[in-house]
Amino acid sequence: MGETMEMLASAARTDAPPAITLDKVNKWFGALHVLRDVSLQVALGERVVVCGPSGSGKSTMIRCINRLETHQEGRIIVDDIELSDDVKALDAIRREVGMVFQSFNLFPHLTVLDNCTLAPIWVRRMPKAEAEDLAMHYLERVKIPEQAKKFPGQLSGGQQQRVAIARALCMKPKIMLFDEPTSALDPEMIKEVLDTMVGLAEMGMTMIVVTHEMGFARQVADRVVFMDRGEIVELGTPAEMFEQPKTDRLRMFLSQILRGH
Amino acid sequence: MSDITLNTAAAGVPEAAPRSAPLTQLGLVGWMRANLFSSWLNTAVTLLLAYLIIRWAVGFIEWGIVNAIWSVPNNQTQACRDLKGTGACWAVITEKHRFMLFGTYPYEEHWRPALVCLLFIGLYVVSAMRRFWRWELAIIWAAVLSVIGVLMWGGILGLSYVPQERWGGLPITLILATFGLAFAFPLAILVALGRRSSLPAIKVLCVMYVELIRGVPLISLLFMASVMFPLFLPEGMNIDKLLRAQIAIILFAAAYLAEVVRGGLQALPKGQYEAADALGLSYWQKTGFIILPQALRLVIPPLVNTFIGFFKDTSLVLIIGIFDLLTAGKTAIIEPAWQGFGVEVYVTIGAIYFVFCFAMSKYSQGLEAELNRHRRR
């Protein structure tokens, strides 16, 4: 019963206009075909978890969405703007899409607060005081306001990743991309970062999360995408994917992941 | 075994109080024991070197102070010559220091280049202090450099006109070094960025510039600037010789500095570029706020290395007849009465160079420590 309700809810969400559309996207690194006809639609407010073995192209796919990588064929449309060589379109998309990296990528020479206020001040042209208020608001949201004056190198990995999430949120993005946000963390710090992300999902943020954390996928994902060798192999609700995998490849992947835990 | 330790810890046995290190390893005695007299061989080397250092120091003091002659009347250098090298003839410095410092600049106007040197030093001191690191500093530089130009040239404000050919000594060295590095450094940053540009034309241009300039000696560039360059100018047009040498030095220094800066750019992890891109920062915002502040901090030691090298390389302008500090010193002892006192003159000039270079070196060490504070835990 509860499950049907959930499915209805996610179905309702998919009726909303798509926040992200990937249409037959292809990409090569040299001769290596890393994305093969990848098509995916993500609705506004939807949470999508992308999983798959390493080298399956999942990171490359989300890095194409804000053009950290360029795709060679197909179309990517974000927030009604098509990604192209047009610099203005790219700037507009990057303002709306926040990204959190596996290796945090905080700016080590700036304090936590400056990390958070830099882009709002210079990209959004926000007054400094307002940007600082905003930054403190999000630092409180990720539960580390007391670290605002410290440098990233003085924080633990989990704290750094939460700062990175706050930094991305300060741009008030419509969409958040997470590229294996917990893979570089010590086990005892994974939870604090996942909790922050669950909180974000509950606020209704549109999220695409590349992760191996299947517990997180079950808890927050509307849909799970399974990728292997550059293509989307299976796509469905977490329940469908984890209880009744249709393909051998997903079955094998799940058994490997579960054995690891 | 580990079980037992665990059990005692759990039982609440108090931790042993920290003991101080054995006395033999503390203080000066401990340091000397560890570093100078740790074995028979080390002791022997220490004693031998101590003997040599003391011998040399005593000899230098005897030559430079005890037996030295500090002044002679009316260029009568016989007293100096009678020493036959057992004592220094500092009289040459007493007599010739104004010429060494200011070259052929009119004698009664020497206060002007002297003031210029003080202005330069003041400018260095102010620029070295971090609390003056704001955009107003650029205005201060422009103002002080203009005042320096007025003082050197004159011709206005009641100052008599002094043609550039008569300038010489320390102001020339400071002018070449200061203008040289002040213009070469920004140019170097642009070239380094250009070499990593995704625009092929800019990249090729920057690579060619660096490779071409690095491929020839500074001396040949200076020759080209002084001899060949005027041939290509239209009839009647003449660019100041000092300015031509200055441009050659700027172009040369920039090529070297560009490679140092590029080293810093390459040392930065790719993630820093990506994070800045993902936040929507523009190219110049990314470069100015994220990339350069980190890249330049990384390369402070090789940057200062290059700065110091170029400060001294300005002395090469002697081959095109510009009287920098070293050339002025050399010229000062051409007069027959003072021939043969080169050691005293070169020791003095060496000391002046040393003061400037050592100050740069010390300052950069402090700056490095301060700017990299964020890397400490």
Q: By the CB < 8 Å criterion, does A106 face chain B?
A: yes
> What residues form DSSP beta bridges with A22?
A40, A76
B280–A94 C-beta distance less than 8 A: yes
Confidence of residue A2 (pLDDT cuts 50, 70, 90): very low
Q: By the CB < 8 Å criterion, does A154 face chain B?
A: yes
Of A68, A108, A122, the CB nearest to B278: A68
Neighboring chain B residues of A109 at a CB cutoff of 8 Å: 293-294, 297, 374
- Asked if residue B294 lies in contact with residue B275, where contact means CB atoms within 8 angstroms, the answer is no
Of A107, A151, A154, the CB nearest to B290: A107
Q: Minimal CA–CA distance to A218: which of A238, A200, A235, A203?
A: A238
pLDDT tens readout for residues A13-67: 445 678 899 999 999 998 899 999 999 999 998 999 999 988 899 999 999 998 9
Alpha helices (H) in A79-234, listed in sequence order: 87-96, 112-122, 128-141, 157-169, 187-202, 214-220
Supply the pLDDT for residue B8.
Answer: 46
Q: By the CB < 8 Å criterion, does A91 face chain B?
A: yes
Sheet holding A18-29, edge to edge: A32-43, A18-29, A73-78, A81-82
pLDDT at A10 over 50: no
Nearest CA in chain A to B294: A109
Supply the pLDDT for residue A168.
Answer: 93
Closest CA of chain A from B101, distance in Å: 43
- Asked if residue A193 lies in contact with residue A180, where contact means CB atoms within 8 angstroms, the answer is no
CA dist A107 and B375 (Å) reads 11
Fold that domain B106-371 belongs to in CATH: MetI-like fold (1.10.3720)
Q: By the CB < 8 Å criterion, does A149 face chain B?
A: no
**Mutation target vs B (from A99, A107, A155; most B CBs, 10 A cutoff):** A107
- Interface of chain B toward chain A, CB-CB under 8 angstroms: 269, 271-272, 274-282, 285, 289-290, 293-294, 297, 373-377
Q: If you count residue pairs, one on A and one on B, with CB atoms under 8 Å apart, how many are there?
A: 68
pLDDT tens readout for residues A94-151: 989 999 999 999 999 999 999 999 999 999 999 999 999 999 999 998 888 999 999 9
CA dist A10 and B245 (Å) reads 74
Supply the pLDDT for residue A178.
Answer: 94
B282–A108 C-beta distance less than 8 A: no
Supply the pLDDT for residue B229.
Answer: 77
User: How many CB atoms are closer than 10 A to CB A45?
Assistant: 18
CA B311 to chain centroid:
5
CA dist A200 and A188 (Å) reads 20
Q: By the CB < 8 Å criterion, does A68 face chain B?
A: yes
Supply the pLDDT for residue B13.
Answer: 58
Supply the pLDDT for residue B23.
Answer: 63
Supply the pLDDT for residue A50.
Answer: 94
Closest CA of chain B from A178, distance in Å: 12
CA dist B170 and B334 (Å) reads 19
Q: By the CB < 8 Å criterion, does A184 face chain B?
A: no
Supply the pLDDT for residue A210.
Answer: 94
B277–A153 C-beta distance less than 8 A: no
pLDDT at A9 over 50: no
Give the start-to-end residue ranges of the domains of chain B.
Answer: 2-82, 106-371
pLDDT tens readout for residues B246-282: 888 999 999 999 999 999 999 999 999 999 999 999 9
A167–B278 C-beta distance less than 8 A: no
Assess: ipTM above 0.90. Answer: no
CA dist B104 and B110 (Å) reads 10
Helix (H, G, I), strand (E, B) or coil at A34: strand
Q: Is A255 exposed, middle or buried (0-12, 13-18, 19+ CB in 10 A)?
A: exposed
B275–A107 C-beta distance less than 8 A: yes
DSSP state of B324: B
Neighboring chain B residues of A168 at a CB cutoff of 8 Å: 278-279
pLDDT tens readout for residues A54-66: 889 999 999 999 8
- CB within 8 A of A144, min separation 6: which ones? A112, A155, A159, A162, A163, A166
Percent of chain A with pLDDT over 70: 93
Alpha helices (H) in chain B, listed in sequence order: 2-10, 27-35, 40-61, 78-82, 91-102, 111-128, 136-153, 170-195, 200-214, 218-223, 229-231, 241-267, 270-278, 283-285, 292-298, 300-313, 325-332, 342-371
Q: How far is CA A38 from CA A41, A124, B291, B349, in A?
A: 10, 32, 34, 72
CA dist A50 and B331 (Å) reads 78
Confidence of residue A12 (pLDDT cuts 50, 70, 90): very low
Closest CA of chain B from A232, distance in Å: 25
Residues in chain B predicted with pLDDT less than 70, given as ranges, are 1-15, 21-26, 75, 235-238, 375-377
> What residues form DSSP beta bridges with A206?
A175
Closest CA of chain B from A181, distance in Å: 14
Q: Minimal CA–CA distance to B265: which of B184, B203, B194?
A: B194
Query: What's the maximum distance between 2 C-alpha atoms anywhere in chain A?
Result: 55
Neighboring chain B residues of A98 at a CB cutoff of 8 Å: 278
Neighboring chain B residues of A68 at a CB cutoff of 8 Å: 274, 277-278
pLDDT tens readout for residues B49-103: 999 999 999 988 888 877 777 777 776 777 777 777 777 778 777 777 888 888 8
CA dist B333 and B339 (Å) reads 5
Closest CA of chain A from B296, distance in Å: 12
pLDDT tens readout for residues A161-216: 999 999 999 999 999 999 999 988 888 889 889 999 999 888 889 999 999 888 88
pLDDT at A227 over 90: yes
What are residue A177's phi and psi, to 5 degrees?
A: -110, 135
Confidence of residue A7 (pLDDT cuts 50, 70, 90): very low
